[in-house]
Amino acid sequence: MPLKKVIETKKLSRVFKNGEIEVHALTDVDMVIEEGEFVAIMGASGSGKSTLLHIIGCLDRATSGEYDLDGVRVNTLNKNQLADVRNQKIGFIFQSYNLLSRTTALENVELPLIYDRTGRFSNSKELAKKALEQVDLADRIYHKTNELSGGQQQRVAIARALVNNPALILADEPTGNLDSKASIDIADLFVQLNNKGKTIVMITHEPEIAQFAKRMLYLRDGRIISDKIIENRSTKAFAMKELEKPITP
Amino acid sequence: MRRFLKIFKVAFKSINKNRTRSLLTMLGIIIGVAAVIMTISAGEGATLQVENQISGLGTNLLMIQTKSEHKAGINVRMGRPIDEKDFDMLQKNSVWMPQLSPLVAIGAQAIGPSGYKSTMVYGVSYDYFYITSRAIESGSFFTEDDVRTAKKYCVIGETIREELFPGEDPIGQQIRIDKVPFTVIGLLTEEGSGGMQDMDDIIIAPYTTVQNRLYGHQRGYTMIMASALSEDHIADAEMEATELLRESHKIKDEDEDDFEIMTQIELQEITGNITGILTILLGAVASISLLVGGIGIMNIMLVSVTERTREIGTRLAIGARESDILTQFLIEAVVLSLVGGLLGVLFGIIGNQIIYKATSFYIPTAIYSILIGFGFAAFVGVTFGYFPARKAAKLNPIDALRYE
Ligand SMILES: Nc1ncnc2c1ncn2[C@@H]1O[C@H](COP(=O)(O)OP(=O)(O)OP(=O)(O)O)[C@@H](O)[C@H]1O
Ligand SMILES: [Mg+2]
């Protein structure tokens, strides 16, 4: 049975123009990601990882090329339609969390539901609580952003990305600001979500975090130079043990 | 509608979460609006008061004075003084001025049984009361006979009574004006203190008495006051007085008058000019306070633009439409301006009342000042609250998130 394609791009390119200078951040990216995949994107700094994820997440537009998301031709949509796609189909997780300050975890998680136009959610508070339970923050729902640790803030951001039940979860260096232990917890959380059927695309610089995924894309100078299935995936237990190993000189 | 309610809640939460910023923004609006209301109203109050004072000076009034010239800011009397001869001549020959009174004004110290006060003593004839339309509260005016025989009678204003006879009936009592004993025979009806000049801080006595007893050996009168037959005849009266005085002063055709005549109409014109200038000045002060309030708000808004742009980026990233953001920020701006504007109006009115209570300078709160103040609040609120947000909401979500 052929799996449903969640992402399909053809010759996707992104050129930044800064006066005279042109930066080719992405060049002719062809990529297919199917339902239920867990993809890690790696590559050197400046290789175009974030640019690619932003375009996939409809936060930015490609300069040229085609992009289908969940069967919708995204590159022809107007601004409002793109906003609705972001609201209904995508949960985006940032390295710097991007939570609203002075706002409780619950209110932050509720936010995507406020902008929902389909009317498919009846009790946004309950849904937000459930999402926070999923990320193991049931006891922190009334804490404000500044009263949470970095790992907890990232989990609030993940709950926010989950709450509208999106087809796709995108994460740009979700563990970039966290220590190893918190990073492993987040990676494990992604594995659990993936096991429940969520499609996940995650950028990371850390090979041991990438190892939790099922598939790895490697970018260089705006092109995909390698695409392989990850064998012997990491688990939380394994990564924790590795962590405790004494550093051999 | 449900959407609007949701966004409305978002806007209120946002105002509440950024309480300091909200309060500072409102403070700018409050100060601006209150300042506009108070300055404009003060200008209106001053104009009203001056107008009242002028019409309170008398009916169809003419004042005939020696010519004076401004020299280094001081009035210097130039011509021959207006005196008894001029007065008698005018009284005998004038057709258009049925009421005429000399006025001899001196500053003097008045001492009563339980107090004293420095005040103005006006020596006048009986007609003065008609010309200035001042009424008697108790007792009576002095008569023409009293004037002819230079009786040491006087009529006092309410302010003098309060100082010299606190809680007493002054009629029939003795006071000393620069050591000369006078009998109080009348109390003037209160005019209400007019802020700039207290119309009740006055003692009126026969001019003959004042000239003989208080005025020393100066010649002439301070002025002659006259009342024209009617308002339509003020100009006729002025012309008549000019001709009669030129003739009796033997002024050649080519020479200028050695006296000057001020009519109530001219007085109104002059003060109209003055209050006009006053209003312009106050208007300038008001615009400056508006500017200051506006700059304050602008500062707060600009400082918060970075934070807010990232907030807008976050909201866009999770699926808010541009219109959702605009609605939220418009509601925030309108609510802040509205509340700030209302508080500003309230403080403006209270400020006017405080000034009134403290100085008894009556300030009517001008309706149009409230409108101007409110217009300003709306303009500033929308300009500085809404337009930066509009700019941010038009960005790509990722550009808004990266804004620095
Ligand atoms: N708004 C922009 N304007 C101009 N150039 C840009 C812009 N955004 C990204 N770039 C350029 O595009 C290229 C790719 O950037 P991108 O952020 O995608 O890299 P990245 O792989 O995510 O790097 P990192 O690992 O450091 O996050 C870089 O050379 C960068 O300078
Ligand atoms: Mg990046």
Candidate from A59, A79, A103 with C-beta closest to B398 = A59
Closest residue in B to A99 (Cα) is B314
Residue A197 — φ and ψ, nearest 5°? 110, 0
Can you tell me the distance from the alpha carbon of B404 to that of B392, in angstroms, rounded to the nearest whole number? 12
Q: Do B397 and A60 touch (CB under 8 A)?
A: yes
**Domain spans, chain A:** 5-244
Query: Quick one: tokens of A91?
Result: 């949960």
Whose CA is closest to A152, among A138, A164, A166? A138
Whose CA is closest to A32, among A197, A199, A206, A212? A199
8 Å CB contact between B125 and B102 = yes
Can you tell me the distance from the alpha carbon of A24 to that of B67, in angstroms, rounded to the nearest whole number? 90
What's the pLDDT at B231? 81
> How far A75 CA sits from the closest chain B CA (Å)?
14
What's the pLDDT at B367? 87
What's the pLDDT at B50? 78
* Residue A233 confidence (pLDDT) above 90: yes
What's the pLDDT at B266? 83
Q: Do B396 and A61 touch (CB under 8 A)?
A: yes
- B286 versus A207: the higher-pLDDT residue is A207
Ligand 1 neighbourhood includes A78 CB (under 6 angstroms): no
**Domain spans, chain B:** 2-52+270-402, 59-264
What's the pLDDT at B18? 86
What's the pLDDT at B130? 87
Can you tell me the distance from the alpha carbon of B235 to that of B242, in angstroms, rounded to the nearest whole number? 11
**Total residue length of chain A:** 249
8 Å CB contact between B397 and B316 = yes
Instruction: Please state, in angstroms and as integers, the Cα–Cα distance from residue B248 to each residue in A90, B81, B113, following that order.
Output: 105, 13, 47
Counts of helices then strands in chain A (DSSP H, E): 8, 10
- B17 versus A37: the higher-pLDDT residue is A37
* Residue A199 confidence (pLDDT) above 70: yes
Residue B105 — φ and ψ, nearest 5°? -110, 130
| Highest-scoring range by mean pLDDT, A213-217, A236-240, B213-217 | A213-217
Q: Which residues of chain B have pLDDT under 50?
A: 195
Q: Which residues of B touch A107 (CB under 8 A)?
A: 13
Three-class SS of residue A211? coil
Its sign, for the CA torsion A59, A64, A70, A73, is positive
What's the pLDDT at B304? 77
Query: Where does the pLDDT of residue A15 fall: very low under 50, low under 70, confident under 90, or very high at 90 and above?
Result: very high
Three-class SS of residue B218? coil
Q: Which residues of A touch B307 (CB under 8 A)?
A: 101
What is the mean pLDDT of the segment spanning A187-206?
Answer: 95
- A236 versus B78: the higher-pLDDT residue is A236
* Residue A27 confidence (pLDDT) above 60: yes
* Residue A132 confidence (pLDDT) above 70: yes
What is the mean pLDDT of the segment spanning A22-46?
Answer: 96
DSSP-derived pairing of the beta strands B180-188 and B153-156: parallel
Q: Do A88 and B318 touch (CB under 8 A)?
A: no
Question: For an interface test with B, which of A49, A82, A88, A98 has the most B Cβ atoms less than 10 Å from its Cβ?
Answer: A98
Residue A168 — φ and ψ, nearest 5°? -145, 135
Query: Quick one: tokens of A227?
Result: 């695409």
Three-class SS of residue B403? coil
What is the mean pLDDT of the segment spanning A99-117?
Answer: 94
Q: Which of A20, A23, A170, A201 to mutate to test the pocket of ligand 1 (most atoms within 8 A of CB)?
A: A23
Ligand 1 neighbourhood includes A151 CB (under 6 angstroms): no
Three-class SS of residue B346? helix
Instruction: Please state, in angstroms and as integers, the Cα–Cα distance from residue A248 to each residue in A38, A207, A244, following that order.
Output: 32, 19, 12
Can you tell me the distance from the alpha carbon of B86 to that of B259, in angstroms, rounded to the nearest whole number? 11
* Residue A108 confidence (pLDDT) above 70: yes
Can you tell me the distance from the alpha carbon of B156 to that of B40, in angstroms, rounded to the nearest whole number? 36
- A247 versus A88: the higher-pLDDT residue is A88
Query: Where does the pLDDT of residue A1 fall: very low under 50, low under 70, confident under 90, or very high at 90 and above?
Result: low
Superfamily of the domain at A5-244: P-loop containing nucleotide triphosphate hydrolases (3.40.50.300)
Fill in the DSSP letter of residue B158: H
